[in-house]
Amino acid sequence: MTDTATTAIEAAAARLLDAEKSGVPCAPIRDLITGVEDAYAVQERLTLGRLAEGRRLVGRKIGLTSTAVQRQLGVSTPDFGMLYADMAVPDGAEIPVGTVLQARAEAEVALVLAADLTHERHTVADIIAATAFALPAIEVCGSRIRDWDITIADTVADNASSGAYVLGNRPVSLRDVDLRLAGMVLERRGEPVATGTGSACLGHPLNAAIWLADTLVRLGRPLRAGDTVLTGALGPMVPVLPGDVLEARIDGLGDVRVAFAANSEKEEKTS
C-alpha cells in the first residue's frame, strides 16, 4: 500500500471516528478512498482501534443480502461488519435513540457457533455442524454518514452500518426449523411495518453464513466457536422513531423485542 493510500485510509477512519465520538454524522468518505478494498482497510483500522480500547469482538453481521439493495449500490456480493459485546442489547430493553446514529431496524436470523469455521471453502453441512443454535434478532443499523448518503465504500468502511443488536432468548436447533421458508413480521407498536421470509436472505440464511465464513478465512480473521452471526435482513429496513417499540416474530424461532427512549442521553445532557 502506498503512502498516499495509507494517508487516505487514516483520514477516512478519522472522519468516521469523529462522527462516532461526537454524535454528529459526517460527510461520506468515498471522496477519500478508492474501492471496496480500501473500505475494508478503513474498517480494519477502526476495528484494531476498538479492540485496543478493550472492546470485545463477539461475532459479525452480514449486510447487503438483498438483491434489490445490491442493485441499488451497484454490487453483486454482501458485505460484513464487526459485532462487539457492548452492541448487544437484552431482549425487551430500551435503547436511547441517540445511541445509534440515524437508527434503522431490520429483523434477522442469528446463528451462534459451537465450532470454528476455518476451511477455505465451507459447505452447508459445515455450517449446520458448527452451529449451536439459531435465534430471532433485531439489528439496529446506524450510519455515521450524514443522511445515509452511502455507496458500498461508505457502508463497508463504516463497519457495514452497524449500531446495536437484540437477540431472542429461546435457542432453536437448526434441525427444528426451515429457515428458508420461515416467515417474518416486524411490528411497530403492534402494527406490521415489514414482512419477509428466510429466502430473502441470499435465498437462505445459511447461504449468507457460507459466504461470510469463506470470506473471513481469506482475510485471516475466521469465525470462532461462540461467535454470533447476524445473517442478514429478512425484509425491508425501517426507520426508528423516538418512543418506538419494535417486535419481530420469525416462524419457528419465536419473537424478540426492543424499545427506544423518547430522548437520547446526549439530548438529556444538553437540555
Rounded-to-integer distance, Cα 189 and Cα 99, Å? 21
pLDDT for the residue 69: 79
Residue numbers of the chain with a pLDDT score lower than 70: 1, 264-271
pLDDT at 264: 44
Supply the pLDDT for residue 75: 83
Q: Which domains does the chain have, with CATH numbers?
A: 57-270 (3.90.850.10)
pTM of the model: 0.93
Q: How many residues does the chain have?
A: 271
Composition of the chain by helix, strand, coil, percent to 5 = 35, 30, 35
- Which are the contacts of 61, defined by CB distance < 8 A and separation ≥ 6? 80, 81, 82, 83, 139, 160, 162, 165, 229, 230
Residue corresponding to grid cell 437484552 = 90
Strand partners, 145: 26
pLDDT tens digits along 191-238? 999 999 999 999 999 999 999 999 999 999 999 999 999 999 999 999
Contact of 18 with 26, CB cutoff 8 Å: yes
